[in-house]
């Protein structure tokens, strides 16, 4: 036997890869722009490949045209990418295949319990009342999990208009975030058996992100720190699906209004397309973000290329970023 036939061909090394993952459920605002600009600058400075991925599975919330507008606005800002855009909704088969694997391995099961059922039953069982303030999620304790036996496993996944959940074991998931440092989460305590497939017969966010990150070779995830504990859930899914190395995470402090709440309509119209329509230049928006990220001591217009050249995670503020009226006034002023 020749040596050639016994040696496996060398796999080309996967280049470090990140993704820009807008949800076309609304228009991009200054907070989204901050995250995408930082993600892009980190990638371009380090030679990571960038995939643009439209996270458009949240059917009822997706707004027609928001995807194309997001692409247009990213280009306007000066952000570019190497692959995509890819739309998650274009092909649901990889998500179904992942579900089937999870169900056959005993990690996923269907449940008929509604949100109200879960609230009522978990209060009865564990003396819990409503979910934590500000959280839309209801924790699903394992006591509500049906038995997962040989028969249910053998049936695999059935897209049967039930909610499908991931069976979470009670142990801590730890990871080292590039910005937030060492983190540990007990997913059983925070979320319990979380939803991975909805009764609208669509993959839930946690599952879709993991299947795509793995398929697209994503090694670096950069996003807002509202998703820090989602990273722990995603790591559990990576492991249960046997997908190999989880990505490195960088979770950035969210941009907030002066009331301390995440940037939203109540803080005024901070949509990028509204600023653009009012004649605000992209360099102005980038300049404000640069100020927020500690690149410059004051607000100074700059191009995306200048932002990229000056960006470092080390100068990024640890105290949170607050959008206030002086930011809006400066954007609209128009001088340099």
Residues in contact with ligand GLU by CB under 6 A are 21-23, 55, 209, 223, 227
Q: How far is the CB of 223 from ligand GLU (least distance, A)?
A: 4
Beta carbon of residue 238, minimum distance to ligand GLU (angstroms, whole number): 13
The helix/strand/coil state of 28 is coil
> Please, what is the minimum distance in Å from the beta carbon of residue 239 to ligand GLU?
17
In the bound state with ligand GLU, the residue whose beta carbon lies nearer, of 209 and 302, is 209
Here the tokens at position 39 are 């993600």
CB atoms within 10 A of CB 19: 28
Q: Which is nearer to ligand GLU, 209 or 263 (CB)?
A: 209
Would you state the structure tokens that stand for residue 55, as one six-digit string?
Answer: 């996270």
Nearer to ligand GLU, 70 or 293 (CB): 70
* Residue 328 tokens, joined: 């809006």
Instruction: Please state the closest distance from residue 67 (CB atom) to ligand GLU, in A.
Output: 12
CB of 108 to ligand GLU, least distance (A): 20
Nearest CB to ligand GLU, comparing residues 220 and 306: 220
* CB neighbour list of residue 256: distance below 8 Å, 6 or more residues apart: 262, 263, 320, 321, 322, 323
Long-range CB contact pairs, 110-119, < 8 A, 24+:
110/158, 110/160, 110/162, 110/163, 110/164, 110/165, 111/144, 111/145, 111/146, 111/162, 111/163, 111/164, 111/165, 112/162, 112/163, 113/140, 113/144, 113/163, 118/144
Query: Minimum distance from CB of 137 to ligand GLU (Å)?
Result: 15
Q: Which of residues 32 and 111 has its CB atom nearest to ligand GLU in the complex?
A: 32
The runs of H, that is alpha helices, within 105-172 are 115-126, 150-155
Measured from the CB atom, the residue of 53 and 267 that comes closer to ligand GLU is 53
Both structure tokens of 326: 């002086």
CB within 8 Å of 22: residues ≥ 6 apart:
28, 32, 36, 54, 55, 67, 70, 74
Comparing CB distances to ligand GLU, the nearer of 233 and 299 is 233
Whole-number Å distance between alpha carbons of 235 and 194: 13
CB of 23 to ligand GLU, least distance (A): 4
């Amino acid at each position: 036997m020749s040596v050639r036939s016994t040696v496996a061909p060398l796999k080309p090394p996967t280049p470090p890869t990140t993704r820009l993952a807008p949800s076309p459920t609304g228009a991009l605002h200054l907070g989204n722009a901050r995250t995408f600009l930082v993600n892009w600058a980190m990638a371009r400075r380090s030679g990571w490949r960038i995939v643009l991925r439209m996270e458009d599975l949240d059917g009822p919330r997706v707004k027609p045209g928001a995807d194309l507008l997001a692409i247009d606005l990213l280009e306007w800002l000066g952000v570019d990418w190497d692959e995509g855009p890819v739309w998650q909704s274009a092909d649901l088969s990889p998500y179904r295949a992942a579900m089937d694997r999870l169900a056959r391995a005993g990690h996923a099961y269907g449940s008929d319990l509604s949100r109200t059922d879960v609230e009522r039953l978990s209060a009865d069982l564990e003396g819990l009342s409503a979910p934590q303030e500000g959280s839309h999620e209801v924790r699903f304790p394992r006591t509500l999990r049906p038995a997962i036996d040989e028969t249910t496993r053998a049936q695999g996944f059935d897209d049967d208009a039930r909610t499908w959940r991931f069976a979470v074991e009670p142990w801590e998931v730890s990871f080292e975030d590039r910005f937030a440092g060492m983190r540990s989460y007990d997913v059983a305590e925070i979320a319990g058996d979380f939803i991975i497939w909805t009764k609208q017969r669509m993959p839930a966010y946690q599952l879709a992100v993991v299947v795509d990150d793995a398929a697209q070779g994503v090694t670096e995830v950069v996003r807002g720190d509202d998703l820090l504990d989602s990273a722990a859930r995603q790591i559990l899914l990576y492991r249960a699906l046997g997908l190999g190395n989880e990505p490195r995470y960088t979770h950035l402090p969210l941009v907030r209004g002066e009331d301390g709440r995440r940037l939203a309509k109540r803080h005024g119209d901070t949509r990028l397309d509204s600023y653009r329509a009012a004649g605000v230049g992209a360099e102005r928006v980038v300049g404000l973000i640069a100020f927020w990220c500690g690149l410059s001591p004051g607000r100074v217009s700059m191009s995306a290329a200048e932002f990229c050249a000056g960006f470092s995670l080390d100068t990024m503020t640890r105290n949170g970023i607050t959008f206030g009226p002086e930011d809006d006034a400066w954007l609209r002023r128009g001088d340099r």
